[in-house]
Structure 1
Amino acid sequence: MPVFCTKYQAELTLTDGSKEKVEFKMDGDLPVLKFTVKGSQYNLKGWTKQEKGMTVLNGTGTLNFGEDQPWTARMKEKGRGTLGAQKIQDKGPVDLGEVFYPFLAFGSPEKIASRSILITDVTVWTNEDEGILMDTDVLLENGKIAKIGTDLSAKDALVLDGTGKHLTPGIIDEHSHIALGGINEMAPNSGMVRMQDVIDPDDPGIYRALAGGVVAAQLLHGSSDPIGGQSALVKFKWGEDAKGLLIQGADPFIKFALGENVKRSKNNVSIRFPRSLMGVEQFYTNAFTEALDYKKEWDAYRSLGTKEKRTAVEPRKNILHETMLEILEKKRFITAHSYQDKEMLMLMEVAERFGFALNTFTHALEGYRIADRMKEHGVGGSTFSDRWNYKWEARNGTPYNAPIMDREGVVTALNSDSGETMRHLNHEAAKMVRYGGLTPEEALKMVTLNPARLLHLDDTMGSIKVGKSADVVLWTGDPLSLYSKPEKTIIEGAIYFDLAKDAQLRRENSKERARLLKKMEGLEGTENVSTRISLERLEFHCESLEMQY
């Protein structure tokens, strides 16, 4: 539909009687005025309104493209100031550029699709009984690992020469907060909120994670609340929408939290319950007891006959209690933010009292102290490699924590809790060879197979085995080496990161930026406008209370 603007002949009379020409047009109902007075350029934009039958123009403009200038103009006489009005039709369609998926830098003009890929003569870290296979071929077809062997061939497959390179399962981050609009609801029991509702699929952190060989993650609620929100398990399919990132059919998880954050230890004026370890234990007990009472109400109502239901009051649906019931019925699984052994022991006792087992202690910096008890309970540990002493409750950490838990029989993973650390989780795993003497294969499992086990994804992810999802990374060298890089990160047979393509995209991004700046050069009022830098995205950690949007 054509866009019309109306241009007017106008002039400005100054207080000394002198006059200046004014560019004056109505862009629809919006007035636009430009004029120069004593060397200062005014650019005024605004809107129109009627006051007591008089047309009034007002708005905000700029002086010399910098200082804001509020302004108002009132019509003094009707019939004046509208000479020579003419309607000018817009020049028509303009070049808008391509659409990208996602619609920002490092996007693709088409959605990335799965294809047949044959990787030849590569060193394969299987994470299976076969161990590391040398000079092996791997065929990826229909999003699955189709064949593993030697001298393989496949019609119409993309052939990648793996000579001197290494192929591993994709890295999985058990604890992440990237690609979310906010992470802390702040209600003591926030079990009704869902992280999948605030996923931002356009977060550049996804592309950066892919560049580090990460294919999947658990996106967690923060740790402000004893009971946090429901997790989202995602694969980093760059260019898909939020729903397209979710791992379909994955078991549902929820975040619990222990320690300083939930007790508001750093906030002396907070009176929110709970405020102590005693209160935290009672809070969990109350939540599960209330959920069981809620179930009794519904069971009693459902047991009524048709005639009795006509006069009975149906219980009110409560999604918070229903979430707690899912835990009690072993349909939803707990990832518990934790640091100190005494708090982890308490939560295990609460769980056992109500007849279920915890799934994971995440952080778990004092897990090495109670690893035997964790194994007995059946809970896993997801921790940092060598990060501790950043607050009081983290003072007793040790880089030997993960190896000790692992050797005690606890399923142990390393996580990031950081968009930056996520990019080199392979290096975090390599530290376990130094601290605790794990073999390189055992160390790699801590960021691949073990997090898959903790997230109940190991039937389809975490190892290179025929029939599993084709979520793999082709490295330029040994995956635990500081000098190796992911050459290709592949999810379900689709190449979501390619080192060579990345270099090409950087050049194309520069060209696209230049194209946009060139188009801006011809726009009225932009000649002397200084460049504005977009605000940097927030990076969330467990304690972050801010919101991205």
Structure 2
Amino acid sequence: MRADKVGDAFNIQYTIVGGGDEYERIDEIKGTNATLILPIDFQLAYDVDDPFLASTLSLSDMRSWNQQPHNPRLLAENGIKFALTTHGLKSNKTFSSNLMKAIENGLSKQKALEALTTIPASLLGKSDVLGSLKTGSYANFLITDGDIFEKKTKLYENWVQGSAHVIENINTKDIDGDYEFKLDGEDYKLTISNSTSKADAKIESNDKNLGTKTSYSDDWLNLTIKTADSTKKEYIRIVANATSNTGLNGKAILPNGNELSFFANKTETSTSLSDQDNDKKKGSKTDDQDDSDAPFMSPITYPNLAYGFSEKPKSETILFKNATVWTNESDGILENTDVLIKDGKISKIGKNLSSSKATVIDATGKHVTAGIIDEHSHLAAASINEGGQNSSAEVTIEDVLDDEDIGIYRNLAGGVTSIQVLHGSANPIGGRSAIIKLKWGEAADNLIYENSPKFIKFALGENVKQSRSRTNSRFPQSRMGVEQVFVDYFTRAKAYDEVKKSGKPFRHDAEMETLAEILNGERFISCHSYVQSEINMLMKVADQFDFKINTFTHILEGYKVADKMKAHGAGGSTFSDWWGYKYEVNDAIPYNAAIMHNAGITVAINSDDPEMSRRLNQEAAKSVKYGGISEEEALKFVTLNPAKLLHLDNRVGSLKVGKDADVVLWTDHPLSIYAKAEKTIIEGVTYFDLARDQEMREAIKKEKSELINLMLQDKNKGLKTQPVKKKEDKIMHCDSMDLHN
């Protein structure tokens, strides 16, 4: 989907090599209008004999093994064109078996044939000479003895531009099957296989397997059989002609030299029964099987991992009755009050409300608040830092959003509804932000706020001057160098913007465009900061170029410069009580938020951590202890105030008629350590429900058991498996780097 965005930006329709997991976002893949080149490198089942190792497998990994073979079918059913490729296979020999597996899982033979012929020919622009049998096309074709997608079909010849490549002799009779014959008073059973290539035979007498050597050429079969008497090294020699489909005629020479007439009669029923047994062993469907024997497919959810929705949830009309309502507005905290949610908005707040179409929820003894907003997070991003140079203003976190990050669901369980996903702090001028709502189950683009305010990450201090770097490979490497980076870049951006506004020809520069937006008040800065001297420095640089620092984030020495921040117009987003984890944090104090608040600064408590973000309500409560902030104002530190800092307070952050229905129902006082988010609602859609969560835990347990049983069946059939490998999710912070050897 990212590749398609790049193509759209330049009006190019790419052909895209798939990843095999398109089924997880089939509608979005269809929306790209791309033709895919599709690998069929299906995963092996995991070896789940050890229950302790099996318990570490994620449901998403288990589903991937089960669902991947259905991917070609689902693409075909949704009208998405694709060609098949051996790309990604460790051995091309597995291509045929994987293709058969896709067909067993519902891919039609017609679509499979198109994916191997007409579609790749079209992608190459060679449909006039490749991919079909028609006058004028190259003489490229196969000769087989049946349907090419049947397992027992033999390929005789492969013709390329009129030249035949013989795989098996087309004139050799197929004598595979089971036979019976009698020699010198003894009964024998003969089974022949692979007769048109390298023939193999097995002979039994009195249920004893006899050693046999076999050759078959030009319809003549030669057998050398060890006699049943194991004490003697004697052999029977047979030569027979395949004169018909019913038997073999010839002569047998006994160990004593006597010659006897030989006739082996083909047994009709044994072959068909053997075929059926083989088909059942291989999992293919025979005439007496029905659809109930079709391969099991684990349900696809949104997202396609544990706790995903079977269907994307929809907005509802909801009426909370008799709650304690924290409005974050002039009305303050309202007791025994009702809140009506309708059409994704807060419709009414008051007593004795009613609605005939609403789902009524008794909230007696419970609390309703606006959703929690995290001003500084790295949740739901696949990459954090583009740290190769001292400015990366051209990159954006919106390009690397990970809608399958389980942290989204966990944050919903903590009452979080919106976050700013920030670039890291590897360079003074970082990348652009993504401001998202935690709409669990939606694709990445649908998480981003409509008409999202424009933000960018700046950084100061130890990280940007590479204090703990082993390489120190780029400028700046000192605090004075950090200041010069800002001066240099904004000088360039100012000159760029002046040329652009003059109407003169100019070369578009994504980096300069972003910085010019800051100069023009169209993009806001969240700046990673600690030390008061650097905070002062950046405000002076901003004054020099006539723009404002919107938010100093972290800012653990904000209490030292609160008056200057207030005069500049900057807000502060800080930790509640983190300190001492590196040198420049040694002067941090837990009273920081309260001091900045009392100085008139808009203050938020942020997480910068996917675990802390789940309990930001408790982090806010610490300001009641440290600094005597009122409970109502403390809650605003994680609701209304971050909304103000993100320029979203007209939409979210408080409970006010007309605002987005981003609402949390708490089981207890929202600042209490005992409070749980019972329901977390975004725009009228319930994305987290405590009761549903309990139901899902049982459903996940059941589904994992079903998949484990299927994997055990694969292993018991003798199929290859892969070992269970421990996986650990990488926890992203400001200094997380994508390092590649």
Q: CA offsets per residue over residues 422-444 of structure 1, 9 Å max, x none?
A: 01001101111100001100110
The 3 A distance-change label for structure 1 pair 526 and 295 is farther
Confirm or deny: 8 A CA contact 1:250 1:456 kept in the other structure: no
1:34 aligns with none
Query: Aligned to 2:498, which of 278, 290, 296?
Result: 296
Equivalent positions of 1:107-506 (< 5 A) are 107-186=308-387, 187-267=389-469, 269-300=471-502, 302-303=503-504, 314-506=505-697
2:52 aligns with none
Q: CA offsets per residue over residues 495-534 of structure 1, 9 Å max, x none?
A: 1111111000101111111111122222146789586145
Question: Which secondary structure state, in structure 2, belongs to the residue aligned with residue 291 of structure 1?
Answer: helix
1:532 aligns with 724
Mapped to 2, the partners of 1:82 and 1:293 lie a distance apart of: 82
Question: Which secondary structure state, in structure 2, belongs to the residue aligned with residue 496 of structure 1?
Answer: strand
Mapped to 2, the partners of 1:488 and 1:299 lie a distance apart of: 50
**What amino acid is the match of 1:217?**
I
Mapped to 1, the partners of 2:470 and 2:419 lie a distance apart of: 35
Question: Which secondary structure state, in structure 2, belongs to the residue aligned with residue 261 of structure 1?
Answer: coil
**What amino acid is the match of 2:482?**
V
The 3 A distance-change label for structure 1 pair 453 and 134 is same
Deviation at 1:79, TM superposition (A): 4.0
Confirm or deny: 8 A CA contact 1:173 1:216 kept in the other structure: yes
State which structure, 1 or 2, has the greater radius of gyration over its C-alpha atoms: 2
The 3 A distance-change label for structure 1 pair 518 and 345 is same
TM-score, normalised with respect to structure 2:
0.61
Report which stretch shifted further, 216-225 or 91-100: 91-100
The 3 A distance-change label for structure 1 pair 232 and 526 is farther
**What amino acid is the match of 1:501?**
R
Question: Which secondary structure state, in structure 1, belongs to the residue aligned with residue 299 of structure 2?
Answer: coil
Confirm or deny: 8 A CA contact 1:126 1:169 kept in the other structure: yes
Mapped to 2, the partners of 1:283 and 1:122 lie a distance apart of: 53
**What amino acid is the match of 1:103?**
N
Deviation at 1:30, TM superposition (A): 6.0
Deviation at 1:130, TM superposition (A): 0.8
Mapped to 2, the partners of 1:374 and 1:491 lie a distance apart of: 33
Question: Which secondary structure state, in structure 2, belongs to the residue aligned with residue 274 of structure 1?
Answer: coil
Deviation at 1:292, TM superposition (A): 1.7
Mapped to 1, the partners of 2:473 and 2:298 lie a distance apart of: 55
1:80 aligns with 198
**What amino acid is the match of 2:569?**
G
**What amino acid is the match of 1:334?**
I
Report which stretch shifted further, 85-94 or 450-459: 85-94
The 3 A distance-change label for structure 1 pair 268 and 508 is closer
Q: CA offsets per residue over residues 89-128 of structure 1, 9 Å max, x none?
A: 8337423132211111001111011100000000001111
Mapped to 2, the partners of 1:125 and 1:192 lie a distance apart of: 40
Question: Which secondary structure state, in structure 2, belongs to the residue aligned with residue 263 of structure 1?
Answer: coil
Question: Which secondary structure state, in structure 2, belongs to the residue aligned with residue 488 of structure 1?
Answer: strand
Deviation at 1:267, TM superposition (A): 2.6
Mapped to 1, the partners of 2:718 and 2:375 lie a distance apart of: 47
The 3 A distance-change label for structure 1 pair 365 and 519 is same
1:106 aligns with 307
**What amino acid is the match of 1:502?**
D
Mapped to 2, the partners of 1:397 and 1:82 lie a distance apart of: 81
The 3 A distance-change label for structure 1 pair 436 and 109 is same
Q: CA offsets per residue over residues 122-145 of structure 1, 9 Å max, x none?
A: 000111111100000000000000
1:90 aligns with 284
Question: Which secondary structure state, in structure 1, belongs to the residue aligned with residue 535 of structure 2?
Answer: helix
Mapped to 2, the partners of 1:298 and 1:504 lie a distance apart of: 58
Confirm or deny: 8 A CA contact 1:182 1:547 kept in the other structure: no
Question: Which secondary structure state, in structure 1, belongs to the residue aligned with residue 477 of structure 2?
Answer: coil
1:8 aligns with none
Say how many residue pairs are matched. 472
The 3 A distance-change label for structure 1 pair 495 and 28 is closer
The 3 A distance-change label for structure 1 pair 526 and 484 is farther
- Where do 5+ consecutive residues of structure 2 fail to align? 1-39, 41-92, 99-164, 168-195, 202-270, 286-290
The 3 A distance-change label for structure 1 pair 293 and 138 is same
Mapped to 2, the partners of 1:292 and 1:321 lie a distance apart of: 9
Confirm or deny: 8 A CA contact 1:385 1:414 kept in the other structure: yes
Q: CA offsets per residue over residues 50-108 of structure 1, 9 Å max, x none?
A: xxx999xxxxxxxxxxxxxxxxxxxxxx9425779989583374231322111110011
Mapped to 2, the partners of 1:338 and 1:28 lie a distance apart of: 54
Mapped to 2, the partners of 1:328 and 1:82 lie a distance apart of: 81
- Where do 5+ consecutive residues of structure 1 fail to align? 4-25, 32-52, 56-77, 304-313
TM-score, normalised with respect to structure 1:
0.82
Mapped to 2, the partners of 1:388 and 1:97 lie a distance apart of: 47
Mapped to 2, the partners of 1:322 and 1:256 lie a distance apart of: 16
Deviation at 1:153, TM superposition (A): 0.6
Mapped to 1, the partners of 2:95 and 2:671 lie a distance apart of: 62
Q: CA RMSD in A?
A: 2.5
